[in-house]
Amino acid sequence: MLDVIRSNAQSLGIKIAFGLIIVVFVFWGVGSYTGGTVSDIILVNDQPITVYELQSLTANMTRQLKESRPDLTDEQLKQSQIRLRAAQQLIMNLILDQEARRVGITVTPFELRKEIESLPYFKNQDGVFDPALYKQILENNGSSPATFEKAVTSDLLQRKLFDHVTAGTAVSETEARSLFDFLAERRTMDYVLFPLADFAEQATPTEEAVRAAYDEGRNTMFKVPAKADVEYLLIGADTLADAFAPDEAAIKAFYDSHKERFMTSEQVRARHILILAPSGAAPGSDAEKQNQAAEQKIKELHKRLMAGEDFAELAKANSEDVVSAQNGGELGWFGHGQMVPEFDAAAFALKPGEISEPIKTGYGYHIIQLEERQDAAPQPFETVREEIRQQLGSQQAAGKLQETLDQILLAVMGGKDLADAAQSWKLTPKKSGLLDADALAATLGIKPEEAATLLTVAKGTIKDTPFITKEGYVLVKVNDTAPEGVMPLEEVRAEIEDRLRTENEARLAMDAAKAALGEIKDGKLPEALAARVRQSGPINRSGQIDGMGSNAALTRAIFAADSQNWLPEPYALADGAVIAHLGTVVPATEAMWEQDKPLLMDTMLRSRKEGIYRAFLQTLQNAAKVIVKDEKALEG
């Protein structure tokens, strides 16, 4: 590598490469190369992906997966094929980087710096990029500035490539309106309902049917898993805190030397008046007019307050925050970050008794009156005494955990039960009751396969090997077990009868609906059925119908209908079976279109761009020359 650099020291590429490294050092003083094996494992259009890159990304993906799923077993981890997925990601990233550079897209050091400095997790308490914090966070996550900056550069390149490929993509208002009219159209239906309740007397299941349903479900729905009732003792830093609790003097000394840790945040108590107003109103729309009316009203209320009218009385009479209005606009105490940013900034800028100018938030227009303010201050000792005692006790116990476990185990092996063995450490065993393996696992904080071992243990057995949990160790005594079995018929009879009765009612209702369709002559129902015709409320394409539930096939049929002929088949709903025909068509209104147009057009444009980009990615993948030097290295 050094020979290549030396022999090309005057080339433009080498100068640019060193220029990037120098800029990174100048900006933050943290640019560095993290070493490792550079053996090529994959070639993408003759450009290598190294073993180190694959190992690094695999490790990061593994760590993230374990953090999101702590209960993941080694076998499940293996089935996730993380190494293969990491390789696929590296290949795709390299293909995109190559294409970006081919068309002349680059990322300057200044763009890289700006992007990283904008990331909130690298900023200090003053909101300023902190190089030391930057290095520390990367180190904690097993990365380095060089590796991270390479990834950010790749991400910026790909974003620019996306913009390049999708530039010029557009959505016309005409096609957006066409889609909107399709989606926003509502229809009603005329229908006759054949309610399940009408067939209740005929729907009682026979004894033979009940027994047949029971036999069918013996090995599925009526099966009872094996269970165990255990007594368990959790030995952990937190549970042992009482046994290792410090004395009062130590607690007070800790408080006195760490008061900054027990500070209460600054808080205020305020009232407000809210006049609701829509956000993101398009010019000339109804929403904009509502916004203007709300703004005018809040200004008038502000004038009245400045003239001396009572804030609480005006809030009761005018505020559209119906909850606080009942109490004169009272909001109670709140700290920084509990309100939306605009409200937060205005409230904390006031002095007690002051009234703010009207402010706008996503909810509408507000006027705020500050009533009281509490500055940040240390909490009283008595308030945090128990918290400190628990913390110090846990810290002390953590160092004695293994020793304590050994002593309790010795006592148990010497013949003591769990309660007696744990008494000296102020621990008390708990009882689970009869639970299956999954429930036991959740109760004890162990894996289901570990809990399953308790189901076959003899009653009265104390497991001499503790289970390891997130909180510490768990010692278990099996008090009772119950083998796998089947619930008796009489225990589930009511459940079976209810299910069969509902099925019979649905079948009878459907038979009646089919018979009614057969009575239609020249498109008309017999007089008795015609008297039962009802009209639904407006139905959208999601298909919810007047609280009767939904049926996707019925919804499709109503929206496909172009006449008021009765649909040729009945449909099942929650309350029974229906026969139906198209009622009225309720088209979308101009006002609805104006309100939803900006969001719909933006969504359509984004979707179209993503579709174009996916097709572009597929083309690049198909054209790429990828050589995997060692396919076995991608396994696992």
User: Does residue 445 lie within any of the structural domains?
Assistant: yes
**pLDDT bracket for residue 501 (50, 70, 90):** very high
C-alpha–C-alpha distance, residues 633 and 636, integer Å: 8
Same domain, 523 and 561: yes
* Structural domain includes residue 298: yes
Percent of the chain with pLDDT over 90: 57
- The mean pLDDT value of the chain amounts to 87
Q: Look at phi and psi of residue 280 and say left if phi exceeds 0, alpha if psi is from -120 to 50, else beta.
A: left
Q: Is residue 460 part of a domain?
A: yes
* Domain identity same for 437 and 503: no
Residues 398 and 473 sit within 8 Å (Cβ to Cβ) = no
Instruction: Give yes or no for a contact between 517 and 570, defined as CB atoms under 8 angstroms apart.
Output: yes
pLDDT of amino acid 35: 37
Question: Are 226 and 531 spatial neighbours (Cβ–Cβ below 8 Å)?
Answer: no
More confident residue, 488 or 75: 488
Whether pLDDT at 430 is above 80: yes
Say whether both 523 and 567 belong to one domain: yes
pLDDT of residue 296: 94
Say if CB 474 and CB 446 are below 8 A apart.
yes
How big is the CA angle at 49 (ends 46 and 53), to the nearest 5 degrees? 170
Q: How confident is the model at residue 78 (pLDDT cuts 50, 70, 90)?
A: confident
411: domain CATH number is 3.10.50.40
pLDDT in tens, 207-243: 999 999 999 998 889 999 999 999 999 999 999 999 9
Structural domain for 437, as ranges: 226-239+403-483
Band of pLDDT at residue 20, cut at 50, 70 and 90: very low
pLDDT at 226: 94
Q: Residue 291 has what pLDDT? A: 86
Mark whether 285 and 320 lie in a shared domain. yes
Residue 281 pLDDT: 66
How far does the chain reach from its first CA to its final CA, in angstroms?
Answer: 31
Q: Does 502 share its domain with 453?
A: no
Give CA–CA dist 47/52, Å, rounded.
Answer: 15
Contact 472, 239 (CB under 8 A): yes
Residues 198 and 285 reside in one and the same domain: no
377 falls in which pLDDT band (50, 70, 90)? confident
Could you tell me if 166 and 468 are in contact, meaning their C-beta atoms sit under 8 angstroms apart?
A: no
Q: Give a yes or no: residue 360 inside a domain.
A: yes
> Is 200 inside any structural domain?
yes
- The answer to whether 192 and 532 have CB atoms below 8 angstroms apart is yes
Average pLDDT on 179-191 reads 93
Per-residue pLDDT tens for 141-164?
777 888 889 889 988 999 999 999
Handedness of CA 433, 438, 443, 449 (dihedral sign): positive
Beta strands in 510-606 (DSSP E): 534-535, 571-573, 576-586
Q: What is the pLDDT of residue 4?
A: 31
In this structure, the answer to whether residues 426 and 345 fall within a common structural domain is: no
Answer whether residue 444 is part of any domain: yes
For residue 109, give the nearest of 149, 143, 145, 138 by alpha carbon.
149
Contacts for 102-111 with beta carbons within 8 Å, 24 or more apart?
A: 103/161, 103/164, 105/157, 105/160, 105/161, 105/164, 106/157, 107/153, 107/156, 107/157, 107/160, 109/19, 109/20, 109/23, 109/24, 109/27, 110/23, 111/156
Mean pLDDT check: name the lowest of 5-14, 75-84, 157-166. Answer: 5-14
**Range picked from 163-167, 462-466, 503-507, 617-621 for highest mean pLDDT:** 503-507
Looking at 483, 505, 539, which one is the last position of a domain? 483
Same domain, yes or no: 440 and 366:
no
DSSP secondary structure, 154-193, as one string: HHHHHHHHHHHHHTT----HHHHHHHHHHHH-EEEEEEEE
pLDDT in tens, 456-479: 989 999 988 899 998 899 999 999
Is residue 186 scored above 70 in pLDDT? Answer: yes
Tell me how far apart the alpha carbons of residues 335 and 266 are, in angstroms, rounded to a whole number.
6
> Whole-prediction pTM value?
0.52
Q: Decide the pairing of beta strands 227-235 and 430-435.
A: antiparallel
Q: Are residues 345 and 427 in the same domain?
A: no
- Looking at per-residue pLDDT, the higher value among 277 and 172 belongs to 172
Give the Cα separation of 398 and 402 in Å (integer): 8
Contacts 24+ apart (CB under 8 A), 444-452: 444/230, 444/232, 444/469, 444/474, 444/476, 445/234, 445/469, 445/470, 445/471, 445/474, 446/474, 447/71, 447/73
Interacting residues of 442 by C-beta distance below 8 A, sequence separation 6+: none
Sheet holding 534-535, edge to edge: 534-535, 186-195, 576-586, 571-573
Determine the average pLDDT of the residues in 113-133. 86
Distance, CA of 532 to CA of 192 (rounded, Å): 6
pLDDT tens, position by position, 550-607 = 899 999 999 999 899 999 999 999 999 999 999 999 999 999 999 999 999 999 999 9
Residue 347 maps to a domain: yes
230 and 290 both lie in a single domain? no
279 and 371 share one domain: yes
> How many domains is the chain partitioned into structurally?
3
- Residue 166, pLDDT above cutoff 90: yes
The answer to whether residue 169 sits within a structural domain is no
431, 451, 483 — which closes off a domain?
A: 483
pLDDT tier for residue 36 given thresholds of 50, 70 and 90:
very low
303 and 202, same structural domain?
no
Q: Which of 441, 457, 483 is the last residue of a domain?
A: 483
